[in-house]
Amino acid sequence: METTTIIIIAVAAVVLWVIWAYNRLVKLRNRTKEAWADIDVQLKRRYDLIPNLVETVKGYASHEKGVFENVTKARAEALKAEETGDPKKVAAAENQLSGTLKSLFAVSENYPDLKASSNFMELQKELRDTEDKIQAARRFYNRNVRDLNTKMEMFPTNLIAGSLKFEKQDFFEIEDQKERDNIKVEF
């Protein structure tokens, strides 16, 4: 074989590899965007359920005004963070909202009539289902972020990822250290 033929084959192989690597990175980036959209869908569902839940509990526990205000405020902050599209801000706001929802359910424990209300029970079941779906969507998102970031860091793809304007993505993580700590149960 001639030297020029070898050079043409080598250049063609490099070009084909660059095309393959680029397409793989695009696929991973799009999966990550899809996963983020899945989180958005589930968060929207939760945001729609929360006002109904708050109104149901308000009917039974009118003197627990501070709890309702905190839930409403946390929901508004979460919606505002969602508009930024920044996983770190959204995670922080979502963790705050989850904490206020826990206080809402704690209030409901003090009202046996409320706990027996079929409307409240259905809303609580829907919210629990939504929380499970949010967790699944977060795991799906983080798995796709991991795959994308890993591919971008691995040799030889890392040689072209930066020059092709691919950026590492942030994981959807818990910001509050307290939520990572083990729960201490005392009787």
Tell me: pLDDT of 113 over 80. no
Q: Across all residues in the chain, what is the average pLDDT?
A: 80
Given this model, what pLDDT does residue 62 score? 59
Full 3-state SS string of the chain: CCHHHHHHHHHHHHHHHHHHHHHHHHHHHHHHHHHHHHHHHHHHHHHHHHHHHHHHHHHHCCCCHHHHHHHHHHHHHHHHHHHHCCHHHHHHHHHHHHHHHHHHHHHHCCCHHHHHCHHHHHHHHHHHHHHHHHHHHHHHHHHHHHHHHHHHHCCCCHHHHCCCCCCCCCCCCCCCHHHCCCCCCCC
Higher pLDDT, 175 or 105: 105
Higher pLDDT, 103 or 81: 81
CATH superfamily entry for domain 25-166: LemA-like domain (1.20.1440.20)
Given this model, what pLDDT does residue 183 score? 44
- State pLDDT tens for residues 142-155: 999 999 999 999 99
Tell me: pLDDT of 184 over 60. no
Confidence at 180, pLDDT banded by 50, 70, 90: very low
- State pLDDT tens for residues 62-83: 556 677 777 778 888 888 888 8
Going from N- to C-terminal start, the domains of the chain cover: 25-166
Tell me: pLDDT of 174 over 50. yes
Given this model, what pLDDT does residue 181 score? 52
Average pLDDT over residues 116-140: 81
